[in-house]
Amino acid sequence: MGQPRGRSRGARRSQRSEGLNRMRAENYQERKVEIEGWPVNLSSYEADGVFHCKADNVSPGAALARTRGATREEAEQKAIERARELLSRTRRQNV
């Protein structure tokens, strides 16, 4: 019970990863913008001809939106719109 059955762990890993089609990210870009008074980090990159963008709240680092588009501008605009929608509903505490 609990004994290995013929193959090492490394052999299993390499066997599993042989059939995987690995995606390669290119044109990575990161910038900070302000949306609804909140600092937001926009990260975008291109993979397999599609641009991906992630908007996250800078201080806690929580992801607000993950979007895709044919161009970087389209993906970023979608992420900004979604982040604006979410952040406009967020209340700030007066400290």
User: For residue 10, is it within any domain?
Assistant: no
Is pLDDT above 60 for 17?
Answer: no
Burial bucket for residue 77 (CB in 10 Å: 0-12, 13-18, 19+): middle
Q: What CATH number is attached to the domain comprising 36?
A: 3.30.160
pTM here is: 0.70
**What is the Cα–Cα distance from 32 to 50, expressed in whole angstroms?**
22
Is pLDDT above 70 for 94?
Answer: no
Closest C-alpha among 41, 51, 42 to residue 72 = 51
User: For residue 47, is it within any domain?
Assistant: yes
Q: HSE, CB side, 13 Å, CA atoms: give it for residue 94.
A: 0
> What pLDDT digit, counting tens, does each position of 36-93 carry?
889 999 999 999 999 999 999 987 778 999 999 999 999 999 999 999 999 998 877 7
- Quote the domain boundaries for residue 58: 30-88
CA 39 to centroid of chain Cα atoms: 17
User: For residue 55, is it within any domain?
Assistant: yes
pLDDT of residue 82: 96
pLDDT of residue 11: 53
User: For residue 68, is it within any domain?
Assistant: yes
User: For residue 81, is it within any domain?
Assistant: yes
Q: Three-state SS for 39? A: strand
User: For residue 83, is it within any domain?
Assistant: yes
Compare 91 and 26 and report the one with higher pLDDT. 26
Q: How many domains does the chain have?
A: 1
pLDDT of residue 20: 62
User: For residue 19, is it within any domain?
Assistant: no
Is pLDDT above 70 for 6?
Answer: no
